[in-house]
Chains A and B, each alone.
Chain A
Amino acid sequence: MDATALLDRYERMNVIRRTEKAAHDLFLRGLVKGTTHLAAGQEAIAVGASAALRPDDYVFATYRGHHHALARGATPEECLAELMSRATGLCKAKGGSMHLTKAATGMLGSYAIVGSHLPMAVGAAWSARLRGTEQLAVAFFGDGATNIGAFHESLNLAAVWKLPVLFVCENNLYMEYTPIADVTAVPRPAADRAPAHGIPGEVVDGNDVEAVEEAVGRLARRARAGDGPAVLEAETYRHFGHSRADPAAYRPAEEVERWLKHDPLDLARGRLTELGVDEETVAGADERARDVVERAVEAAKAAPPPDPREALTDVWADGGAAWRT
Chain B
Amino acid sequence: MADVITYRDAVAEGIAREMRRDASVVCLGEDIAAAGGVFKTTTGLLEEFGADRVWDTPISEQAIVGAAMGAAMTGMRPVAEIMFSDFLACCWDYLANEIPKVRYMTGGQVTVPLVVRTANGGGLGFGAQHSQATENWALTVPGLKIAAPATPADVTGMLAAAIRSEDPVVFFEHKGLLATKGPPPPPGHVVELGRAAIVREGADVTLVALASTVPLALKAAGVLAGEGIEAEVVDLRCLVPLDAATVLASLGKTSRLVTVEENPYQGGWGATVVSVVADAGFALLDAPVRRVAGECVPLPFADTLEQQVIPTVDKVVTEVRRLAAY
What is the 8 Å Cβ interface bit string for chain A, positions 34-60, against chain B (1 contact, 0 not)? 000000000000000000000000101
The CA of A126 and the CA of B72, in the complex, are separated in Å by 10
* Contacting pair A113 B240 (CB below 8 A): no
Question: For the complex, what is the distance from the CA of A285 to the CA of B60, rounded to whole Å?
Answer: 47
B58: CB under 8 A from chain A?
A: yes
Contact B67 A126 (CB under 8 A): yes
**B132 / chain A contacts, CB cutoff of 8 Å:** none
Name A323's contact: one of B102, B103, B166, B240 (CB within 8 Å): B240
Let me know if A156 and B70 touch, CB within 8 A. no
Is the CB–CB distance between B70 and A126 below 8 Å? Answer: yes
Q: How far is the CA of A50 from the CA of B98 in the complex (A)?
A: 24
Cα distance A58–B110 when bound, in Å? 13
Stretch touching chain A among B10-18, B38-46, B241-249, B312-320 = B241-249
Bound state CA distance, A104 and B106, in angstroms?
Answer: 11
B167 CB to closest chain A CB, in angstroms? Answer: 5
A200 located at the interface, meaning its Cβ lies under 8 Å from any Cβ of chain B in the complex: no
A120, B107: Cβ atoms under 8 Å? no
Contact A122 B70 (CB under 8 A): yes
In which size bucket is the chain B interface? 35 or more
Check if A325 sits within 8 Å of B241, measured CB to CB. yes
Is A154 close to B, CB under 8 A? Answer: yes
B106 touching A120 by the CB < 8 A rule? no
Indicate whether B310 reaches chain A with its CB closer than 8 angstroms: no
Chain B neighbourhood of A101, CB < 8 A: 105-106, 109-110
A161 to B67, CA, bound (A): 12
Which residues of B (63-97) have their CB < 8 Å from a CB of A? 63, 65-76, 78, 93-94, 97
A108 and B241 form a contact (CB under 8 A) = no
B7 to chain A minimum Cβ distance, whole angstroms, is 25
Q: Which residue of B lies closest to A106 (CB)?
A: B74
Q: Is the CB of B106 within 8 A of A123?
A: no
Q: For residue A68, give the distance in angstroms from its CB to the closest CB of chain B.
A: 15
Known contacts A113-B98, A321-B142, A313 near B108 by CB under 8 Å: yes
A198 sits at the interface (CB 8 A): no
Residues of chain A lying within 8 A (CB to CB) of residue B68: 123
Task: List chain A residues, Cβ under 8 A from B107.
Answer: 89-95, 314
Contacts of A315 in B (CB 8 A): 103-104, 142-143
Q: Which of A23-31, A127-135, A230-238 contacts B (4 or more CB under 8 A)?
A: A127-135
Report how far A32 CA is from B113 CA in the complex, Å: 33
Structural contact, B244 and A104, CB atoms closer than 8 A: no
Q: Measured between alpha carbons, how far is A176 from B48 in the docked complex, in Å?
A: 50
Nearest residue (CB) in A for B143 is A315
Most buried by B among A91, A116, A127, A150: A127
A73-113 vs B, Cβ < 8 Å mask (1 yes, 0 no): 00000000000000001111111000101111000110101
B28 to A, closest residue via Cβ: A126
Alpha-carbon distance A92/B104, docked complex (angstroms): 10
- Residues of chain B touching chain A, judged by Cβ–Cβ distance below 8 Å, are 26, 52, 55, 57-58, 60, 62-63, 65-76, 78, 93-94, 97-98, 102-111, 113, 142-143, 145, 165-167, 194, 240-245, 276
Cβ contact within 8 Å between B167 and A103: no
Q: Which residue of A lies closest to B146 (CB)?
A: A323
Q: Which residues of B contact A316 (CB under 8 A)?
A: 103, 143, 145, 166-167
- Cβ–Cβ contact A103 & B106, under 8 A: yes
Q: How far is the CA of A161 from the CA of B52 in the complex (A)?
A: 11
Contact between chains at A108 and B63 (CB < 8 Å): no
Q: Can you list 10 A-B pairs with a CB-CB distance of less than 8 A?
A: A91-B109, A94-B105, A113-B93, A113-B98, A119-B94, A120-B98, A123-B70, A150-B63, A317-B111, A318-B167
Task: Indicate if the CB atoms of A156 and B105 lie closer than 8 Å.
Answer: no
CA distance A119 to B61 in the complex (A): 10
In the bound assembly, the distance between CA atoms of A124 and B68 in angstroms comes to 8
Report the Cα distance A123→B113, complex, angstroms.
13
Per a CB cutoff under 8 Å, which of A103, A119, A321, A325 touches B62? A119
- Chain B residues, Cβ within 8 Å of A137: 70
Shortest Cβ distance from A296 into chain B, in angstroms? 18
Closest A-chain residue to B195, C-beta based?
A: A325
B241 and A119 contacting across the interface, CB-CB below 8 Å: no
**Which among A102, A130, A321, A322 has the highest number of chain B CB atoms within 10 Å?**
A130
Does A118 sit at the interface, judged by CB under 8 A?
A: yes
> B109 contacts which chain A residues (CB < 8 A)?
91, 101-104
B58 & A325 in contact (Cβ 8 Å cutoff): no
Pair B74/A127 contact, Cβ less than 8 Å: yes
Bound-state CA distance A120–B111 (Å) is 13
Taking the closest CB of chain B, its distance from the CB of A156, in whole angstroms, is 6
Selected contact of B167 from candidates A113, A157, A317, CB within 8 Å: A317
Complex interface bits, A306-321 against B, C-beta within 8 A gives 1, otherwise 0 = 0000000111111001
Give chain B residues whose Cβ lies under 8 Å from the Cβ of A258. Answer: none
Question: How far apart are the CA atoms of A323 and B66 in the complex, in Å?
Answer: 24
> Which one of B57, B78, B108, B244 has the highest number of Cβ atoms from chain A below 10 Å of its Cβ?
B108
Q: How far is the CB of B10 from chain A (nearest CB, A)?
A: 25
Partner of A120, one of B69, B105, B245: B69
Contacts of B166 in A (CB 8 A): 316-318
Complex contacts, B69 vs chain A, CB 8 Å: 119-120, 123
Instruction: Identify A108's interface contact among B67, B110, B111, B143, CB under 8 A.
Output: B110
Known: A116-B98, A120-B70, A314-B108. 14 other contacts (CB 8 A): A58-B70, A90-B107, A94-B106, A101-B105, A116-B94, A119-B69, A122-B63, A123-B78, A126-B70, A130-B52, A150-B66, A156-B63, A316-B103, A323-B142
Q: What residues on B are CB-neighbors of A321 within 8 Å?
A: 142
Decide if A256 is an interface residue (CB 8 Å cutoff).
no
A153 within 8 A of B: yes
Shortest B86–chain A CB gap in Å is: 17
Q: Cβ of A109 and Cβ of B110 under 8 Å apart?
A: yes
Please give, as numbers and ranges, the residues of chain B lying within 8 Å of A122 by CB-CB distance: 63, 66-67, 70
Give the residues in chain B near A156, CB-CB below 8 Å.
Answer: 58, 60, 63
